[in-house]
Amino acid sequence: MPKVLLPLKGSEKVGLIGLGTSTRGVAEVLAHSGIGTLTLRAKETIPSLLPPSFAVRCYTGDTVYDEIWEDILFFSPSARREDPRLLAAKSRGCRFSSDAELFFDNTHAPVFAVTGSDGKSTTATLTSLLLSGGAYDVRLAGNIGRALSPLLFSEGRNTLTVAELSSFQLQYLSPRTRRAVITNLTPNHLNWHKDFAEYKEAKSHLLTYAEDAVLSADDEGCVSLFSGIRPFAVFSVRESLSSLLRYRARHVFTLSEEAICLDGRRLLPLSEIRLPGVYNIKNFMAAIALSMGYTDEERILSVARTFSGISHRAELVATRGGVRYVDSSIDSSPARTLSTLSALTDPPILLIGGKGKGVPFDSLIPTILSSARAIVLFGETGEEIFSLLAADGRSDKPPILRAKSFRDAVRLAVREAKPGDTVLLSPASTSFDEFRNFEERGDIFREEVLALTKDLPDPMI
Cβ 82 vs Cβ 66: under 8 Å: no
Name the pTM for this structure. 0.84
- pLDDT tens for each residue of the chain, 461 residues long: 689 999 898 889 999 999 889 999 999 999 988 888 899 998 877 777 788 888 888 998 889 999 999 999 999 999 999 999 999 999 999 999 999 999 999 999 999 999 999 899 999 999 999 999 888 999 999 999 899 999 999 999 999 999 999 999 999 999 999 999 999 999 888 888 999 999 999 999 999 999 999 999 999 999 999 999 999 999 999 999 999 999 999 999 999 999 999 999 999 999 999 988 898 999 999 999 999 999 999 999 999 999 988 888 888 899 999 999 999 999 999 988 998 998 888 999 999 999 998 899 999 999 999 999 999 999 999 999 999 999 998 889 999 999 999 999 999 999 999 999 999 999 999 999 999 899 999 999 999 999 999 988 665 44
Instruction: Give residue 311's Cα distance to chain centre.
Output: 12
> CA nearest 27: which of 8, 44, 2?
8
Dihedral pair phi/psi, residue 243, rounded to 5°: -70, -40
Say how many C-beta atoms besides its own lie within 10 A of residue 245's C-beta.
Answer: 12
Which residue from 427, 457, 414 is spatially nearest to 325, judged by alpha carbons? Answer: 414
- Interhelix angle 297-306/120-131, rounded to 10 degrees, is 130
**Rounded-to-10 torsion of CA 300, 157, 119, 274:** 20
